[in-house]
Amino acid sequence: MAKAGKQNRQDVVEKATNLYWEKGFHGTSMRNLQDVIDMRPGSIYAAFGSKEGLFKEALQYYTQQGFAQLTALKSTTGSPLKGLKAFVEMAVIDSQDSAPSGMCMLAKTISELTEENAELLAEAKSLLHKIELSFAATFIEAQAFGEVDKEKDAKQLARSLQIQIMGLRTYTRVNNDNKAIKEMIDTLFLAFSDVKK
């Protein structure tokens, strides 16, 4: 492939991402992938090297899409903090029904894999760290915007948000009580925007 067959590389990676996201690394077979992305083994191996190689690219694509969404939401809401909140609501609530899995794909990967797939594990950790950095950057923007108390440590807020998202997404898979979850997110962001008067 490379130079565009019926579909370009991004379409293929997106389909693979959705399957891996739903079923996990070990739960997805190369034959599952062949069916979904409509490519024969030889082409897949020529383009991605291995099951691990394609998974790694899927992790990267997933993360990149997340960045794009956060950026878009900050723009459409016209505010860093509102954008961030919309992003969390989307990830925690909306994705339970519409996404391949209610889980964050990176958290799911970190939960699933062991040192037997050290490189993929490291990649997932690294990407999650980058997301945390972008949360921190968003909090700093929000502070400049006057939405968040400037006394607060953006890094600490980002870490805390990361933990909340992971917890909420897992919990929502167990007990999908939309109303209660929505309230918890509201409370969480009220705490973030607790500007000293």
Partner DNA sequence: TAATATCTTGAACGATCGTTCAAATCCAGT
Partner DNA sequence: ACTGGATTTGAACGATCGTTCAAGATATTA
Tell whether residue 110 is a contact of its own copies (CB under 8 A). Answer: yes
Instruction: Give CA separation, 147 vs 34, 106, 191, in Å.
Output: 48, 29, 11
Q: Which is nearer to its own copies, 80 or 102 (CB)?
A: 102
The region, left, alpha or beta by phi > 0 then psi within -120 to 50, assigned to residue 146 is: left
Residue 130, binding choice from its own copies, DNA, none, Cβ under 5 to 8 Å by partner class: none
Tell whether residue 159 is a contact of its own copies (CB under 8 A). Answer: yes
Of the residues 173, 178, 182, 186, which one makes contact with its own copies according to CB under 8 A: 173
Report phi then psi at 64, rounded to 5. -60, -40
Please identify which residue in the block is written with the tokens 């790694």. 56
Provide, rounded to whole angstroms, the least separation between the CB of residue 148 and its own copies: 18
Q: Which is nearer to its own copies, 47 or 104 (CB)?
A: 104
Provide, rounded to whole angstroms, the least separation between the CB of residue 193 and its own copies: 18
Provide, rounded to whole angstroms, the least separation between the CB of residue 104 and its own copies: 9
Is residue 193 within 8 Å of 146, Cβ to Cβ?
Answer: no
Provide, rounded to whole angstroms, the least separation between the CB of residue 99 and its own copies: 13
Binding site for its own copies (CB under 8 A): 22-24, 26-27, 101, 103, 107-108, 110-112, 114, 116, 125, 128-129, 159-160, 162-168, 170-171, 173-175, 180, 184
